[in-house]
Structure 1
């Protein structure tokens, strides 16, 4: 157990800029940005025991069960000393948050901070649609979800799924809201001001 542990969990709706901000924070503060999708794909590619369990589920388009996701995260954090990570896109449910809390406590690396990026819905939708337009202008295929109808659906799903997580981390005193409007630098400074 070390005092140098830092665990940051980014929350915020699609299009809020979580990925951009998490990548910068990771780089500037020697944190590892963890994506459960990347971890899953790595285990599948390496043919590990966990990967062999997860692979068929992923191929069938099914969700990987929470206990398997937590086992994958445990495996990734086990060799890390100190534990210095950013979670972006996990946890997604109350059950995942509770399981992650238990794992982090066991590792002596409890959650340090949970920045919640807040951006008005219409701004988010405009950003996502613009991201799609930008891709086309640059000769790239836009992401399949970079359109207004899908963006609106994703916002609704996000609000339903994430509200329990917001409440969970607020009750524990980890959550702080960050105004996601402004330049990336301005938003980053607001994120830093809430980290402890």
Structure 2
């Protein structure tokens, strides 16, 4: 199937990119690629790339741009893409990655429109979200949950995934110090990324992602949903 749109989710860790991506997959039938998930697959398989990624993550650093871009390019070449809309969650994260993506966009052709979605949220909210975040241990599921008081993302069963029943686990880097370091790294690149997208001529939308996920999804779907078969391409 040809790709009509590639939507780039840009936002700090914990801003809701992954959760909204899952909603879009479930409700709109779109396809999603998470660089975080790709990294974890390589780590689980203990490939040479996976070993390098594991060291960088545990050190609170970004994986090299070249490795990340190569994984994304390989995904587009090897994955059976069944939707005309693909969300990139967590890629590009740097201007160098964005330049790599421009090459990928050119390879996809003029029929693929590129849209950038920026998630706006306060750092204090991010820290609270991530210290209370748990994910499904099942590598093929990776559903995200929150143990924050009153959260609508809380699991129905105690520490078990609602979707597949697997155990819920906490990521090693979801602690306050590591989160703040990741936020610093994100903010270091954010303005340059946006400037690059403006120069590239990509459409950019902003959403306040401290909203409840259902409300955020509704606002996002109302803005993007009607554009699923938009003939105004990149």
Whether these two folds match at TM > 0.5 is yes
On the 8 A contact 1:9/1:111 being kept in 2, the answer is no
User: Is 1:54 the equivalent of 2:49?
Assistant: yes
Q: CA deviation digits over 1:137-160, x for unaligned, max 9? A: 956653333333333222222111
User: Is 1:188 the equivalent of 2:217?
Assistant: yes
Q: State how far apart, in whole Å, the 1-side matches of 2:122 and 2:40 are.
A: 33
Q: 1:144 aligns with which of 172, 179, 190?
A: 172
Question: TM-score w.r.t. structure 1 length?
Answer: 0.75
Q: Which residue of 2 aligns with 1:102?
A: 103
Q: State how far apart, in whole Å, the 1-side matches of 2:216 and 2:50 are.
A: 37
> 1:1-196 counterparts in 2 under 5 A?
2=2, 5-39=4-38, 54-55=49-50, 57-58=52-53, 61=56, 65-78=64-77, 80=81, 84-108=85-109, 110-131=112-133, 134=147, 138=158, 142-171=170-199, 172-195=201-224, 196=227
> RMSD of the TM alignment (CA)?
3.4
Ranges in structure 2 where 5+ consecutive residues have no aligned partner = 135-145, 149-153, 160-167, 228-234
Shift of 1:87: 0.7
Q: State how far apart, in whole Å, the 2-side matches of 1:42 and 1:152 are.
A: 25
Q: State how far apart, in whole Å, the 1-side matches of 2:39 and 2:84 are.
A: 19
Question: TM-score w.r.t. structure 2 length?
Answer: 0.65
Q: Which has the higher helix share?
A: 1
| Residues 164/37 of structure 1: CA separation in 2 closer, same or farther (3 Å cut) | same
On the 8 A contact 1:77/1:83 being kept in 2, the answer is no
Q: State how far apart, in whole Å, the 1-side matches of 2:89 and 2:117 are.
A: 11
Ranges in structure 1 where 5+ consecutive residues have no aligned partner = none
| Residues 68/158 of structure 1: CA separation in 2 closer, same or farther (3 Å cut) | closer
Aligned length: 190
Q: State how far apart, in whole Å, the 1-side matches of 2:47 and 2:169 are.
A: 32
